[in-house]
Chain A
Amino acid sequence: MSEMWINMGPQHPMTHGLWNLRVRIDGEMILDVDPEMGYLHRGIEKISEDRHYNEVITLMDRCCYVAGLSWEHLYILAAEEALHIEPPERAKYLRMMCDEFQRIGSHIMWYSAFVQDIGLMTPFLYGMRDRDLILDLFQSYTGARMTYEYMRVGGVRNDLPLGFTDQARKVLDWLIDRFREYDQLCLGSTIFHRRCDQLGVLKANDCITHGVTGPMLRSAGVKRDLRKDRPYAAYDQVDFDVAVADGADVTARYLVRMEEMRQSVRIVRQTLDWLDRHPGPVIAENLPRWLGAPYAPIGDEGYLLKRRYPKGVGFSSVEEPHGEAQAYVVNEGGEHPYRVKFRSPVFANISAARQYLVGYHVADIPPIMGSVDICVGEVDR
């Protein structure tokens, strides 16, 4: 066979979303790749300019369909900084709990998709089974399983239901056991190591050059985690380790993500203990109506209707399950954000595809791209 280009996408089992990987192959060898994105562009940043601050949250859930709460958190942090609003302490802990549950859910989703890519079917269903428990928890306090719309500028929408923390602890105990099972199914298999070791190597220097972040960066041995380096919410109050691995290959990314799930369980346990001990308000007081405070006092109608916040800009960066996401919100004093801009970690991770794909086999594309953990919703926005 002579050299040829093949399109892996936009409809292809490998893509896990709507994008196209053009691959130039010679037989089974990859000579060149060219990722094409933009099939899922919805103009979320532009739409945000016509919406009230809290209405943008709906769009954030559509950014990443497996990590909606993380993206809500990202936007909320930037918006609060732009509006000079300080959330209550309990809201911070609730957001941190959301983030970490979301991280576990997202990583389990990644695990399911990734093992499917190397031909394992059983762990895929195990992963989906266990992720359902987390979705059940989300449903119990946000009312939704996928598009949560839970966070608000100035806090969160509602407090936890009765008995939630006990239920959550049970789920965590179950999950910790299952992680061991996941490892047995993957790391215990010789074929898994044959398929994944020394594959898709992206060294630390290349990671930094191409702006690759998240588990991919940490798998190259760089100890970089925004939760430690630039703590937001209440991450400086909890005790956890940053998951790092050497090797920079697919196996290392697997190890990093598995360890991150274990660390997330640790964080959530501490958060649940704190939440049990510290009842209190979950949303800031005296928010105006246009910020949608559901139980804002109706005494001073004029004040609450007309209240404006001074101009300002807000920047936030969050360690999202896929990497470092950043948001920039400009407040020109109105009810709508003047400009919203996001930085998607997966966009950078995919853009470096040529660095970690060329020279391997066609059959290596699914495991390598699977180890990147792609979520096209946030790539295109």
Chain B
Amino acid sequence: MSTVTLYSVSSDIATAVLNAVGSVLPAPYRADVTAPTTETGLAVLIFTVILLAASMINTIMLIWWERKLLGRFMDRRGAMHVGYAGLLQNFADGFKLFRKHTFRPREADSVGFFFGPTAYMISSLIIFGILPISSGWSMGLLPLSLLLALVIFSFAPLFIFVSAWSSNNKYSLMGGMRSAAQMIAYEVPLLLAVVAVVIVSGSFNLTTIVAEQQNYWFWGPLFVALIVFVAAMLAEMERIPFDLPEAEAELVEGWNTEYGGMLFAFFMFADYLRGLVGSILVVLLFLGGWTLPTWVPSPLTAFPLAGIFWFMVKTYLVFGLFVWIRASLPRVRTDQLLRLGWNRMIPLALLSVFLAAALVTVRCVPVFGCVPSPGV
């Protein structure tokens, strides 16, 4: 039971498929098809496809979750008509966008206009190859997986700015400028908040960070870091109250004003991919990942794939918090946002680093218990 990993599943599928194919083929080819290298190659391919499909389906479900939740906050029902409780609505919307003609304004730069959204989407998808979803359910034990994920996450302003600039539209350009300024300003507190987690857990490996939370989840002792991280994540995801790059009231649609059809779908999709990544990172860094506290009765933790189940529950709840914030807060202004970022968030993030260092020095906190020795 405990050895079921994503790779073992895909490897089993690959073996079964290759054996089936091999049994049909004439003898000379049989050995080639069932050779270990072929098997490994196919297993990796299946592994990737499963991961891609899982991340895509989860992103679409996340949009559904946001629409339903937002609807309830607003005293309405949200999507209702396509599928049960509107579950298939987003697939229908996506299909509509897929069928639409993709056009480019005459004066727009043809390379940047198509490169921007594509790269934005792909870079957001790559992160899913790094994030562990449950013990064993990840691409591999990358020692610096957290750092790699954040690096890829921070590519986005470049691609947004490229697509905004090449749209040859004043609103797009202003949106792109805002987006770049905002993301760069909030990258710093985001990383500092992560540093606090790294100090306590002693590792950049996400799997290790989750394992280090066996005594207590990090949200309690690192509460300041959590606040900074969530706020910075909101800015990175460009969600209300920090959604001014695409503030529709003044900038029409911000940096994606000129985009329609599938390219617009890329942007929307990548936005929610990043929302999913943000929620997953909060769960991994502060909420114990796929683990549950030891006092939880075992029937709740022992069923098959319990780790993934609880991980998804936590992720959707965290995203629900983002939706709640979106439903209840107005949008701040650019200068206020930047002032908040540089003047408030960075000192707060530094404080959280200091607190983390103090925690590691003291080692034991009354309510939460003891820190595991760092670097193990």
Contacts and interface: CB of A to CB of B under 8 A. Distances in A.
A129 B75 contact: yes
Interface residues of A, number: 31
Interface stretch (B241-249, B261-269, B365-373): B241-249
Contacts of A129: 75
Contacts of B331: 118-119, 191, 195
B249 A13 contact: yes
B234 to A, nearest CB: 13
B333 A122 contact: no
Nearest to A367: B249
A363 B334 contact: yes
Nearest to B171: A6
Contact of B335 (A120, A125, A361): A361
A125 B76 contact: yes
Contact of B177 (A1, A4, A117, A194): A1
B330 A14 contact: no
B100 interface: no
Contact of B243 (A119, A125, A185, A364): A119
B335 A118 contact: no
B329 A126 contact: no
Contacts of A195: 330-333
Which of B243, B327, B333 has most chain A Cβ within 10 Å? B333
A191 B241 contact: yes
A213 to B, nearest CB: 25
Contacts of A144: none
Interface string B303-345: 0000000000000000000000011111111111000000000
Contacts of A365: 250
B313 to A, nearest CB: 25
B249 A119 contact: yes
A121 B249 CA distance: 12
Given A13-B248, A129-B75, A363-B247, A122 B328 contact: yes
Contacts of B70: 121
Contacts of B249: 13-14, 116-119, 366
A326 B62 CA distance: 53
Nearest to B329: A191
B335 A28 contact: yes
B336 to A, nearest CB: 6
Contact of B327 (A4, A117, A122): A122
Contact of A121 (B170, B177, B326, B334): B326
Interface string B67-82: 0001001111000000
B174 A120 contact: no
Contact of B330 (A1, A6, A125, A189): A189
Contacts, number: 80
Interface string B238-261: 001101100111101000000000
A366 B330 CA distance: 13
A125 B247 CA distance: 18
A370 to B, nearest CB: 8
Contact of A119 (B76, B171, B174, B241): B241
Chain B interface helix/strand/loop/mixed: helix
B173 interface: yes
A364 B335 CA distance: 11
Contacts of A362: 174, 250
A125 B73 CA distance: 10
A126 B73 CA distance: 10
Chain A interface helix/strand/loop/mixed: helix
A13 B244 CA distance: 14
A360 to B, nearest CB: 10
Given A362-B174, A363-B250, A192 B330 contact: yes
B247 A121 contact: no
A41 interface: no
A126 B75 contact: yes
A118 B335 CA distance: 15
A6 B251 CA distance: 11
A8 B240 CA distance: 22
A350 interface: no
Interface string A175-195: 000000000010001011011
A119 B247 contact: yes
A119 B330 contact: yes
A117 B250 CA distance: 8
A115 B334 contact: no
A337 to B, nearest CB: 41
A212 B247 CA distance: 29
A12 interface: yes
A364 B333 contact: yes
A120 B330 contact: yes
Given A1-B174, A191-B330, 14 more contacts: A4-B170, A8-B250, A12-B252, A28-B174, A28-B335, A117-B249, A119-B329, A121-B74, A125-B74, A126-B75, A185-B328, A361-B335, A362-B250, A363-B247
19 contacts: A1-B174, A6-B170, A12-B252, A13-B249, A14-B249, A28-B334, A118-B249, A119-B240, A120-B328, A121-B240, A125-B74, A125-B76, A191-B330, A191-B332, A361-B335, A363-B244, A363-B250, A364-B333, A365-B250
